[in-house]
Amino acid sequence: QKEVEQNSGPLSVPEGAIASLNCTYSDRGSQSFFWYRQYSGKSPELIMFIYSNGDKEDGRFTAQLNKASQYVSLLIRDSQPSDSATYLCAVNDAGNNRKLIWGLGTSLAVNP
């Protein structure tokens, strides 16, 4: 059974702090990794993707990938109340890379 695991949270951080969200995956052949943000009652929205080991930065967001440890993380710098949402981690299914394996998500609350 291929799995993606995330801490369900809630993760609570003060405004302006760094929020760190983590994800581990079981499919060693996975090659692409995605972070989606989902506000309550809304659909998932892609915010970051990463394919190579190391860091990828986009504005206040940094994705970090370590394939040897099967670990991917998302850092949100200068967290804002508008970042409060559930963050979903998804990785491609190595057996069919048009399919994604989804984590259950981590709930983030940024407190003013």
Partner 1 sequence: DAGITQSPRHKVTETGTPVTLRCHQTENHRYMYWYRQDPGHGLRLIHYSYGVKDTDKGEVSDGYSVSRSKTEDFLLTLESATSSQTSVYFCAISDGRDNQPQHFGDGTRLSIL
What residues line the site for partner 1 (CB under 8 A)? 31-32, 34, 42-46, 49, 51, 88, 92, 97-100, 102-105
| Residue 89 · residue 3 · CB < 8 Å | no
Determine the Cα–Cα distance for residues 88 and 35; give it in Å rounded to an integer. 6
- Residue of 100, 103, 101 whose CA lies nearest to 89: 103
CB 97 to partner 1: min, Å: 6
CB 36 to partner 1: min, Å: 8
Determine the Cα–Cα distance for residues 61 and 56; give it in Å rounded to an integer. 8
Nearer to partner 1, 62 or 105 (CB): 105
CB 99 to partner 1: min, Å: 7
Nearer to partner 1, 61 or 102 (CB): 102
